[in-house]
Amino acid sequence: MNDTPGNRSPVIRTASGLLRGLQEAGIFKFLGVPYGAPPVGERRWRPPQPVEPWPGIRPADAFGPAAPQINLSGRSELDGGLAESEDCLYLNVWTPSLSRREKLPVMVWIHGGGYMNGSGALGKYDGAALAEKGTVLVTFNYRLGPLGSLVHEDLEAASANGRSGNYGFLDQVAALEWVRDNITEFGGDPARVTVFGQSAGAMSAGLLSSSPRAKGLFHRGICQSGGLLMFPREVPYEEALADGLELQRALGASGIGEMRRLPAAEIAEAARRLARGDEQPKKLRFAPVRDDVVIKAMEETLGERAGLPLMVGSNADEATFFTKFMPPVTLDNYPALVKRSFGEKALLILASYPVGSDEEANRTFLHLRTRSLFTAPVYELAGALGRRGGRVYVYRFNRVAPGNLESGLGASHGEEIPYVFGHADGQGYDATDRRLSGAMMGGWTQFARTGNPNGEGLPEWPAFSPRAERYLELNDEISVRDYGEEEP
């Protein structure tokens, strides 16, 4: 049951019931659609459960709440007025057609935020412009922080496989299952699904590409600025187990039973205090962890990943974004920060990158962090997949919009997002930005359509291979570059 296309309040049938959405400027929107039962009470720290079918017609004209946030910077990353709730398993759909015959490519966006904050309902992820390019765009929320990733011995005892954690990751799988089962009603093709995301969303896309639980649910992946953390975190499962016990002690709880009765906000605040315990955290606490069940070791899954067309890339100045979470880098603390960040390689790095002033120390350290956490891992992954016959397209985003010049942050972490979503057209952007955004949207949607970002009217984008390590530089001008031309 799909209403006529001209209806400004279209009604559509899903597996769980009827939805009434919106139509604006030729794009249909269905917001706040539940894809899992509320993970509250006894459902806290359990895999997501199916949605209970609803009677009548459910309004789908407003975003659902975001997951409880853990804001390390001390301020909320959410748009004003967006609520937080543990009842957060909602998704949103933008589509240019409600005809089952269309079979449009589907793009499923996974938001970033370090597995601690963010929402698929943020304004910067509005999918109307990508839908205008002939795709069905889906965004969603998933459980964050310890509510999404707690590893605990009490939970292991109740688990069928003896492992715990990765509940937010399983939320992502559930969202993809919803797409498989329902997206045809929104004009989408369940056999042409692209998962894409930025930062933690890119890490998630990488993990999903190798998880047995997500096999067959999507067909291409785009990882924006996921870098080293596109793989399961290097912290052993046993250390994640210790994190869970530390959280329990911080809450003064006797075990999982008591922790399930505590308010979600209290748990999020305790996790925030633990995560801020280090001036410069070495790891992500309460994030997806290798459990060898739903998430396996990278070296075990490269063959799986090689069978999936992939786009990966990073920005030229990623690390400047993270200065708000760390102390200023100075000539005095530069050696200690390098040692803390690079371990046994620190002495070689200090000898190779000497500094003579606070400004030089800051610039050099951020350059090192960008290369080690983002740039180099992108090329390592592309090379590893290329050697196994995988099709990988690599980009580097260098553009600094006029409105961002005064900040001194350069092409920082997340700066490519307005270009991908078609929002680089307001104050602070110029004709060059609009042209670059159009080319990026064209490449991203063409990749979603065919598994190849090349097409008529689009920049030439060669695949990355061990014999030809080429990537696309996205700057004032778009050009093909050789990895060997990178700065040291």
Active site residues: 199, 318, 413
Question: Using an 8 Å Cβ cutoff, are 141 and 119 in contact?
Answer: yes
Which token pair is 447? Answer: 């990749």
Within 10 angstroms of residue 17's Cβ, the number of other Cβ atoms is: 15
Backbone φ and ψ of 104, nearest 5°: -75, 150
| Residue type at position 384 | A
* Beta-sheet strand order (sheet of 392-397): 22-24, 27-34, 90-95, 136-140, 104-110, 188-198, 220-224, 310-315, 392-397, 470-474, 478-482
- Could you give the CA distance from residue 402 to residue 120 in angstroms, rounded to a whole number? 27
Backbone φ and ψ of 447, nearest 5°: -65, -40
Full DSSP string of 161-227: TS----HHHHHHHHHHHHHHHHGGGGTEEEEEEEEEEETHHHHHHHHHTT-GGGTTS-SEEEEES-G
Q: How far is CA 394 from CA 189, 404, 464, in A?
A: 26, 24, 6
Question: Using an 8 Å Cβ cutoff, are 250 and 160 in contact?
Answer: no
Q: How far is CA 205 from CA 36, 96, 230, 425, 475, in A?
A: 20, 25, 8, 28, 25
Backbone φ/ψ region at 257: left (φ over 0), alpha (ψ -120 to 50), beta:
alpha
- Could you give the CA distance from residue 117 to residue 82 in angstroms, rounded to a whole number? 13
Helix (H) or strand (E) holding 430: none
| Residue 337: partners with Cβ closer than 8 Å, 6 or more residues away | 280, 329, 365
